[in-house]
Structure 1
C-alpha cells in the first residue's frame, strides 16, 4: 500500500521504482554532517563549563540556544523551502551553518555570549537542512519502507555523531582543564590568558568545519537531483490546526519533543557523569572517547533496525527499545561504577531507531499535509533545548545522578506511543 500516494510529494521526472540511489547518497552526506556538528556539543559543554566556571544550568544554555533554533527557525525554513525548493534550501542551510561555525573564531576572544550566538546560527542552518532532507528521504521510495529507509540514512547521521566526541576530545580537550584550586593560584593576567587559550582551542576545528560546509554547499548546488513537487492543490489549506486533527501526528510531535530531549540530555551530561567519583572518576579528556560508544551504539542499532523493521512493526520495535532505555537509565541512576557507566552508554544502541521511526509514523497518510506535519515535527526538536535545561536544574539542586530521572520520564511517553500504534501499518 502506498502511504504517501494520493497527493503526497513526489520526485518530478523520476520513477519511484528506481533511480533513487544517487539522490539518497547525496542526502545521506548531509545527515552525516549535521550529526557531526550536533555531537560536538557534548564535548564543548563540559569544556566551556570548566573554562567559564558555569553551573549545569548555565552550561545547558548551549543546548538551549542550539535546539531552540529548531523551534524558531523551522517555520521560516518551511516557507523558504516552499519558495526556493528542497535542493536550494539545503544549500542555504549549509551556507548558514558554515557562517555559524566561522563565528566560533571571534567567540574565542569575546566570551561565552558569542559562543551561544554562534550555536544558534549554526543550528539555524542545520534546521533548514533537516526540514529539506527528511521529507526527501521519505518520498524517495515505497512508503511502506519509509521508516527503514530513513533509519538507514540516520545511521550515517550516527556515524557523524560517533566520530565527533573522539575527534573533539583530541582537538579540544587534549590540553586539559585546571581545577578550581589551581585556578585560584593564578594572577588576573594569567587567568585571562588561560581562559583565552582554552576557548581558542575550538577555533581551528570549527574553521575547518566551516570550510567543509561551504565546499559541500557548492557541490550540492551543482548536483543533479530530482525536483520535489507536491501533487496536491491547496495542500496548505487548514495549516497546523488541520494537521493536528490527525491524532497520530499530534502524539508524534510530543514523542519527538521528548525523544530528542531525552537523547540530547543524556549525551550532554555523559562526560560529567563519567567524571563523578561514584561512577568512573574520569577526566573530561579521558571520558570524551567513551561518548563515541553512546553515539556509536545508535549507529549500529540503526543498521540493525534497517533490517529488522522490514519484517517487524515499527511501533513494536519502538516500544521495545523505549522499555529497554528506561531500564538502562534506572540502572545508571541507582547503581555505581562500571555498571552505571556502561548502562548509560548502552542507551545509545536502543535510541537508534527512535527518531526516524517516530518521524515516519507521525507522517503516515497525511497526504497534502505532509509538509506541515514535517514542519511541526522539526519544531518539536526544541525538546533538545528544554529537557537538558530541566535536567540541569535537577543536577544543580539535587544530584547529577538523580537528575537522569528527567530523561527516564521522557521515554515513558515513547513507550506509550509505540504501543498505541504498534499495528499502524497492518490495520490499513
Structure 2
C-alpha cells in the first residue's frame, strides 16, 4: 500500500511539472492568436507565481485541517479546470483570471506532497520525486509542440494537458482512503523520535520562531534564484557575451536542466550511503565552482562546463533540504515550515530573474556571472550558518541532559 501511494505521488509530481513549462513553449503562437503584447507572458507568469506563493504560505493550516490526500485532490482538480479555462479563454484578461487557480493549486500540491514524503519516506524518494517533476516539465513543451506542429492550435495542447490532470484527479479521488493509512512507517517513527530532541521547548512556539527557520528560508530563496536565473538568462549570456550561436546556446541550457533532472535521479541512489547534509554542502560547492568558471575570463568551453557544473551541483540541494525539514525543526512544525520554504523558494524564482533583467538593461548581460556567483555564495553561506546553529543547539541540549 505504501509503495502504491508513492507511485501516485510520483504521478502527481509529473502532473505538477507539466503546466510549469508549457507557457513559454506556446507563447509565440498564443501571442499572435490573441493579439497580446509580448510582455503579457510575464504578467501570466507572475500571476501564477503569486497564487503559488499565497497557497504555499497558508498550506500548513489547510493541510492540517483537511489532510494531504484531500488537498492534493482538490488542488489537482483546480489546476485541471484552470487549464481548461486556458483552452477557452478569448483574451489575455481571461488567461490572467485562469492563472489564479492554476497557481493556487500548484502551491498547495507542492507543499503538501513535499512534507508528506519528507515525513513518511526515505531521502532517496525525495530526490526521485523531484526528478519526476523534471519529467513533467520536459514532457509539457513536447506535448504542446506536437499539437502546434500538427496544425492544431495551442488550445488543443492545453486541453490535452488538462485531460491528463483530470485523469490524475480521478485517481486521487479513488485513493483518498489510502492516505490516512500510511502513518506508521519507519520514517514516520524516526521523525517522532527526532521530534522530542529537535523541537524541545519550542513546541508551543510559532513556526517562524523556531531557531534556524529564517536561515533555511533564505537558503531556499537563494537556491531558486540561481536555478531560475540560469534557466532564463543563460542562453542570452552565451549568445550575447560569449558569441555562441542561439541553437547551441539553447542546447547547453537544456543540458543544464537535464543535469538537474538526471542528477536528482542519481542522488536518490547516493542517499543510501551519504547524508542529506553532505549532499547539500557538496552540491552547493560544486555549483559555486561552476559559477566561478562562468566568472573567469576563460575560453568558451570552460563557460559551457561551468553551466554543466552549476546544474549538477544544484541537483541534490532542493530535495535534500526539503527532506531535512522534519529532522531539523521537528515534525510538529514541519508542514507549516514546508509551506513557508516553498513560498520563499517561489519568491526567489519569481523576482530575482526579473531583477537581473533590470540590472542587465542598465549594465550588460556580461554581468550575469557576477550575479550567479553572488547568489551561489549567499546560498552556501546561509546554509552553513544554519548547520552551525543547529549543531550548537544540539550540543546545548546534550549538555543540559547531562
Q: What is the TM-score normalised by the length of structure 2?
A: 0.78
Cα drift, residue 216 of structure 1: 0.7
Which residue of 211, 228, 243 corresponds with 2:163?
Answer: 211
Query: Counterparts of 2:325 and 2:134 in 1: how far apart (Å)?
Result: 22
* Equivalent position of 1:162 in the other structure: 138
* Equivalent position of 2:355 in the other structure: 390
Cα drift, residue 27 of structure 1: 0.5
Cα drift, residue 29 of structure 1: 0.8
Contact 2:130 / 2:319 at 8 angstroms: preserved in 1? yes
Q: How many residues align?
A: 373
Query: Counterparts of 2:28 and 2:294 in 1: how far apart (Å)?
Result: 20
* Equivalent position of 1:110 in the other structure: 91
Matched, 1:361 2:361: no
Query: Counterparts of 1:294 and 1:207 in 2: how far apart (Å)?
Result: 29
Give matches, 1:191-340, under 5 Å.
201-223=153-175, 224-227=177-180, 242-273=206-237, 275-276=239-240, 278-282=242-246, 291-332=253-294, 334=297, 337=300, 339-340=302-303
Contact 2:86 / 2:155 at 8 angstroms: preserved in 1? yes
Matched, 1:68 2:31: no
SS, match of residue 225 in structure 1: helix
Going from structure 1 to structure 2, the CA distance change for 1:30 and 1:401 (only over 3 Å counts) comes to farther
Post-superposition Cα deviations, 1:191-234, rounded to whole Å, max 9, x if no partner, equal xxxxxx9xx953222111111101110111102523167999xx
Matched, 1:123 2:86: no
Going from structure 1 to structure 2, the CA distance change for 1:239 and 1:391 (only over 3 Å counts) comes to farther
* Equivalent position of 2:380 in the other structure: 415
Cα drift, residue 125 of structure 1: 1.1
Give matches, 1:23-172, under 5 Å.
23-41=5-23, 43=25, 54=38, 60-107=42-89, 109-111=90-92, 113-141=93-121, 145=122, 147-168=123-144
Q: Which moved more, 1:301-310 or 1:342-351?
A: 342-351
Query: Counterparts of 2:29 and 2:371 in 1: how far apart (Å)?
Result: 23
What are the ranges of 5 or more consecutive residues in structure 2 without an aligned counterpart? none
SS, match of residue 363 in structure 1: helix
Write 1 or 2 for the structure with the bigger share of helix.
2
Query: Counterparts of 1:314 and 1:354 in 2: how far apart (Å)?
Result: 9
Going from structure 1 to structure 2, the CA distance change for 1:262 and 1:241 (only over 3 Å counts) comes to farther
Post-superposition Cα deviations, 1:289-340, rounded to whole Å, max 9, x if no partner, equal 6544222211211122122233223222212221222232343355575543
Query: Counterparts of 1:418 and 1:304 in 2: how far apart (Å)?
Result: 22
Query: Counterparts of 2:294 and 2:153 in 1: how far apart (Å)?
Result: 32
SS, match of residue 244 in structure 1: helix
Post-superposition Cα deviations, 1:116-157, rounded to whole Å, max 9, x if no partner, equal 44444322111111122112212224xxx4x33211221212
Going from structure 1 to structure 2, the CA distance change for 1:214 and 1:103 (only over 3 Å counts) comes to same
* Equivalent position of 2:313 in the other structure: 350
CA RMSD of aligned residues (A): 3.7
Going from structure 1 to structure 2, the CA distance change for 1:72 and 1:320 (only over 3 Å counts) comes to same
What are the ranges of 5 or more consecutive residues in structure 1 without an aligned counterpart? 1-18, 176-196
Query: Counterparts of 1:280 and 1:244 in 2: how far apart (Å)?
Result: 45
Cα drift, residue 24 of structure 1: 1.0
Contact 2:57 / 2:339 at 8 angstroms: preserved in 1? yes
Query: Counterparts of 2:203 and 2:54 in 1: how far apart (Å)?
Result: 17
SS, match of residue 99 in structure 1: helix
Contact 1:31 / 1:154 at 8 angstroms: preserved in 2? yes
Cα drift, residue 384 of structure 1: 1.6
Query: Counterparts of 1:130 and 1:38 in 2: how far apart (Å)?
Result: 12
Contact 2:237 / 2:368 at 8 angstroms: preserved in 1? no
Q: What is the TM-score normalised by the length of structure 1?
A: 0.74
Post-superposition Cα deviations, 1:71-111, rounded to whole Å, max 9, x if no partner, equal 2122343333333321111111111111222232344x413
* Equivalent position of 1:190 in the other structure: none
Query: Counterparts of 1:290 and 1:380 in 2: how far apart (Å)?
Result: 28
Contact 1:34 / 1:160 at 8 angstroms: preserved in 2? yes
- Structure of greater relative contact order (alpha carbons < 8 Å, 6+ residues apart): 1
